[in-house]
Structure 1
Amino acid sequence: MEFPSNDRMPLDLRMGQIRETERDEQVAAARTLLDSENGNFHIKGEPTVTFGVRDLEMRTGIGRGQFAEVVKRAVYTPRGMDVAVKIIYIIDRPSGNNDGRGNEEMIREAENARRAAHHNVVWLYGFVVEQQICYMCMELMQANLEEVKKVMHDQAGLNIGKKSENRDIESFLGCVTVAVVDGLAFLRNNARVMHRAEQHYDQRPRTGMLNLLVVFKNGHYLSTPQVKICDFGVSKKLHTGISNSRAHTTTAGCISYMAPEQFSVDVATSGYGSKAGVWSLGISLFECALGRYAFDGQSDFVIAGNIQTKDPPRIPMQAGFSQDLRNFVDACLFKYEPDRSSLVPTDGNCLQNKKFYKEHVRRGDDARSITVVDVLSLATPHLPMLRRSLLDR
């Protein structure tokens, strides 16, 4: 029997072989990174030191992921520094089987997080593998956007007395917009990494893609308050070239924040692009502005159906927000992916060209930091009760 040579193979078969070869090369490169970085702890501007699980004092839980068993607050004892530790079980604990998912997740996270060195992306201090368990140490965030939303809108029985003024909410959303657009653009255009939303506490969808970082010690700030993108446990890499320019998965993203194209029957073969992250940003801004979910339902199936069949959510004019904010959110929420704004600066329809983004860039870093400090000052006293209520659900 004669087998066709490469130049006579069907195009889809040849492209499949190319993708498989590229994946093998990426896995090999990631394993090299894993071997060289295992047990190294990096603090910006300081020499790298070695560490082990013995250096981590575990505290309370934060959340759970698809493959990671748990994310915990911990103390890196050599420095007395608070960190977030993501624990990935390479071998499935209940069954004792090693189906490769945990190892693949660990390798992907380590590679993606190390490549994503940007001031609007959480910093990976380091990771260590002991007894088939990977411990990933990252910056510990003070609050996430879901929590801030509930505080600003006086929800979840907080009894603050009143919701924040629209002008204060919009000023904060301007800070979020600049930080997240810059972070997503870096992940898409430079690091070739893309983030998806995470789940918090009770396993229901949360806007976990946005976190606030501010560090206090003895009443003083140790770093500039910033909005950061977090959680690489659910990240997907975006490769160059037509064949690998889109993520190939049907499960990437909390249902409430997934773009319509992610539900397509063709997504397993054609994938979806970075504009799915743009959709998620638009949904997050909509929800934080109005204090309600964009798409709700009694089950993931109902929510998915609503995303596919209903018109995209719009911030109504009577809600009292600026036309620039409403236009920006609208640009993120076109159901037809080609019409949606992009993260590519050379594209005339990119988010970086929108008036709302440019307006808040012009405010400057100092002014945006002050806004973030004000929001954190409002939210911080209510976070313990809010987190207890979420954990009790």
Structure 2
Amino acid sequence: MSSAQQKIDDLLDRLNQDRSPRSPHMSGHTPFGGLPPARPSLPIGLNSNSNSPTMQRPRHLAFAHKANDNTEVERRLKEIMKNSGDLLIDDKVYYTDIKEMEHIEELGNGTCGHVVKMKHKPSGKVIAVKQMRRSGNSDEAKRIIMDIEVVLKSDCKYIVKCLGCFITESEVWICMELMDTCFDKLLKRLKQAVPEEVLGKVSVATVEALAYLKDYHNVIHRDVKPSNILLDSKGNVKLCDFGISGRLVDSMAKSRSAGCAAYMAPERIEPDPQNPDYDVRADVWSLGITLVELATGVFPYQDCKTDFEVLTKVIGTDPPSLPKDKDFSTEFRNFVACCLTKDKKQRPKYTKLKNHIFIKKYQETEVNVGDWYVRALESVGDRAAIRKASSPE
């Protein structure tokens, strides 16, 4: 077995520890980011028999590190708990008892919990609530804290707005603005590609959101994909789900925590042994894969039956591109090609991306994304979704 195959096998072993589906289109993606499966913590390419110095840390040192880690997690969680129940809704703070939240319907399920639509009875506002159980697992606690901290501290119109949270001894609820759907579910519903002008606005929103995370919070998202890009009937496009986001050290991500294998950049699948760290350009690759999927209506590696085949193709073949027989602009083709540059050193970061002619064009061009969304639903006769998109809260 080649070293590349071994690395892919090791990665898949960790990806599948807590994940049942193997295909990106059979994974039951949920709107509002759903809830990510529990993520692996071992470095890609290493297994329990690795000779890595990290894996050979003496037990008493590893235990001390773990204890310190858990103490820090608990400290941060207790700090957040001080504001548990304080919800900012329509510029007014409500000191809310969890019993004042009325369940309306389920929106989606994930490995770690579920997302529900709820009514905040004191204000009458309908919101989305990501509900997670506190299991005592420190890795899960870290993901919860990362998700809460990123959305609570973010002030960017392209990132889903967090209204506050509830933290009890057994559960964590993250309260968010309610969006209509995610692009993954919408693509399945429409069974047709998304127009280039709409993807122009999607690209602007996603690049701006990712750049904001990097510039203001020193964070890399690590799980950019259609299910984590949300849409509403007003035409707002927003990024969500920050549970596996990572802190950057000297602009590099040290952790090997995985996102969805299908959208993973080559340097995360097969790290350079001399320079295994990766940076925001890994998310740029994921955006490129996402745009190809939305622009064509099909996942670019659709012929692959397993994650292993997908990852092998990512490493061993040329990057996907927009079909030559489709009527895409030169600017869009070039933007996607930039995102899907295989050599990470040649792939642009956000400053360069934001100056790309395609992004510049759609920063200025008016596109009624909300109107397109409603008309797209009408085209497939989705009356329930049309009523939902057209009705006030």
The TM-score normalised by the length of structure 1 is 0.73
| 1:1-393 alignment, distance < 5 Å | 27=73, 30-31=76-77, 33-46=79-92, 48-66=93-111, 68-91=112-135, 98-151=136-189, 154-155=190-191, 169-197=195-223, 207-214=226-233, 225-239=235-249, 241=250, 245-251=252-258, 253-265=259-271, 270-296=276-302, 297-343=304-350, 345=351, 350-363=352-365, 367-368=366-367, 370-379=368-377, 382=382
Q: Output the aligned Cα RMSD.
A: 3.1
**Pair 73,283 (structure 1): closer, same or farther in 2 beyond 3 Å:** same
Which letter maps to 1:341?
A: P
The list of structure 1 runs, each at least 4 consecutive aligned residues, that deviate by more than 4 angstroms after superposition, is: 20-29, 265-269, 383-386
**Same amino acid, percent of matched pairs:** 26
**Pair 265,176 (structure 1): closer, same or farther in 2 beyond 3 Å:** closer
Count of aligned residue pairs for this structure pair: 322
Q: Tell me if structure 1 keeps the 8 A contact 2:105–2:117.
A: yes
> How many Å apart are 1:107 and its aligned residue?
1.8
Cα distance between partner residues in 2 of 1:53 and 1:259: 41
**Pair 52,311 (structure 1): closer, same or farther in 2 beyond 3 Å:** farther
CA shift digits 1:218-267 (9 cap, x unpaired)? xxxxxx5310001223322334x26xx3141242x111111111112568
Give the SS at the match of 1:175: helix
Q: Which runs of 5+ in 1 are unaligned?
A: 1-11, 92-97, 156-162, 199-205, 215-223, 387-393
Q: Tell me if structure 2 keeps the 8 A contact 1:249–1:268.
A: no
Give the SS at the match of 2:179: coil
Q: Tell me if structure 1 keeps the 8 A contact 2:339–2:347.
A: yes
> How many Å apart are 1:25 and its aligned residue?
10
Which letter maps to 1:379?
A: L
Give the SS at the match of 1:208: helix
Cα distance between partner residues in 2 of 1:137 and 1:31: 16
> How many Å apart are 1:306 and its aligned residue?
1.6
Cα distance between partner residues in 2 of 1:339 and 1:307: 17
Q: Tell me if structure 1 keeps the 8 A contact 2:151–2:162.
A: yes
> How many Å apart are 1:379 and its aligned residue?
2.6
Cα distance between partner residues in 1 of 2:282 and 2:289: 11
The TM-score normalised by the length of structure 2 is 0.73
Which letter maps to 2:353?
A: L
Which letter maps to 2:101?
A: L
> How many Å apart are 1:32 and its aligned residue?
5.6
Q: Tell me if structure 1 keeps the 8 A contact 2:81–2:167.
A: no
Which letter maps to 2:215?
A: N
CA shift digits 1:76-124 (9 cap, x unpaired)? 2222222211111112xxxxxx332332222222111112221000011
Q: Tell me if structure 1 keeps the 8 A contact 2:321–2:337.
A: yes
Q: Which runs of 5+ in 2 are unaligned?
A: 1-52, 387-393
